[in-house]
């Protein structure tokens, strides 16, 4: 299981070794051997259902994490100050005072100093192979606006021969200030001589040359109204 971070200054705790919190932001993770190989759902179920009980007080915990904000993700989305771990299982969550009762002579105590603890977050859909190839021939800058996207594409027209494709795959519209795709007209304005595809997985937008090369016109859009966004006045694809 992985224990993460406060919003600004995460801290990393690996295995049984604590890394002191310093002024420089560091990443914090508590990794419990074996939990990764088990179902994370069972771990989360324990964290969700665990609360203070007399039975939990009988044996000291192996690790106590306290002084922070522990997100249990239970039905009430309860956030507590501390939690206790024994034999690679979360056995109790509660206030610092409650969980301190489980501190014994050999208990490892982690002071979160206000940091946040989240259930392990596992990204199982990263497309690592594709991501590793996207910047193989040139660096792709950070883009926060449609203007950034258009500036990048315009720059690529100086490198990519006329008539060849310019494709941008990395920038999802949720990362853009405008929260939308660049339009056909906008893409045409910076790359009139190149087919351009702005892709975000299964969706995307294209300029006029790209639409033309793929046979996507007014007639095609009329046959596929659920797949092509059109200008409500002209019926032409917007890109």
> Can you name the CATH fold of 128-223?
Diaminopimelate Epimerase; Chain A, domain 1 (3.10.310)
pLDDT at 30: 46
CATH 2.40.50.100 at 13-117, yes or no: no
Mean pLDDT of 220-237: 90
Q: Where are the domains of the chain?
A: 13-117, 128-223
13-117 and 128-223 in the same fold = no
Residues 6 or more apart whose CB falls under 8 angstroms from that of 41 comprise none
The answer to whether 239 touches 184, Cβ cutoff 8 Å, is yes
Mean pLDDT over each residue of the chain, to the nearest integer: 79
Identify which has the larger pLDDT, 84 or 29.
84
Is the whole model's pTM more than 0.75, yes or no? no
Identify which has the larger pLDDT, 52 or 132.
132
d(CA 125, CA 37): 18
pLDDT at 20: 35
pLDDT at 196: 97
The per-residue pLDDT for range 24-74, each reduced to its tens digit, is 333 344 444 333 333 333 444 444 444 445 445 578 999 999 999 999 988
The answer to whether 40 touches 83, Cβ cutoff 8 Å, is no
Mean pLDDT of 149-172: 94
Identify which has the larger pLDDT, 10 or 202.
202
| Least confident interval from 28-32, 71-75, 102-106, 140-144 | 28-32
pLDDT at 57: 57
CA end-to-end span of the chain, whole Å? 44
Residues 6 or more apart whose CB falls under 8 angstroms from that of 97 comprise none
The radius of gyration of the chain's CA atoms, rounded to the nearest angstrom, is 26
Confidence label for 170 from pLDDT (cuts 50, 70 and 90): confident
| Least confident interval from 30-39, 58-67, 99-108, 146-155 | 30-39
Torsion from C-alpha of 220, 222, 224, 226, nearest 10 degrees: 140
Percent of the chain with pLDDT over 70: 76
Residue 1 has pLDDT above 80, yes or no: no
pLDDT at 122: 78
Bridge partners, 57 (sequence order): none
């Amino acid at each position: 299981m992985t224990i993460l971070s406060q919003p600004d200054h995460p801290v990393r705790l690996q295995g049984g070794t604590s890394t002191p919190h310093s002024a420089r932001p560091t990443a914090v993770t508590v990794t419990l051997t074996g939990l990764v190989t088990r179902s994370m759902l069972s771990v989360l179920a324990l964290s969700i259902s665990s609360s203070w009980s007399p039975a939990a007080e009988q044996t000291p915990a192996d690790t106590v994490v306290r002084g922070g904000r522990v997100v249990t993700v239970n039905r009430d989305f309860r956030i507590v100050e501390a939690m206790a771990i024994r034999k690679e299982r979360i056995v109790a969550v509660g206030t610092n005072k409650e969980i301190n009762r489980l501190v014994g002579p050999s208990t490892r105590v982690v002071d979160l100093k206000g940091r946040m603890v989240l259930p392990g977050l596992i990204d199982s859909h990263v497309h690592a192979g594709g991501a590793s190839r996207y910047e193989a021939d040139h660096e792709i800058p950070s883009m926060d606006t449609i203007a950034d996207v258009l500036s990048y594409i315009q720059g690529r027209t100086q490198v990519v021969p006329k008539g060849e494709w310019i494709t941008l795959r990395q920038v999802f519209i949720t990362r853009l200030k405008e929260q939308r795709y660049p339009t056909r007209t906008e893409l045409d304005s910076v790359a009139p001589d190149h087919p351009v595809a702005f892709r975000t997985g299964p969706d995307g937008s294209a300029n006029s040359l790209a639409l033309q090369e793929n046979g996507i016109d007014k007639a095609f859009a009329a046959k596929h109204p659920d797949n092509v966004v059109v200008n409500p006045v002209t019926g032409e694809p917007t890109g």
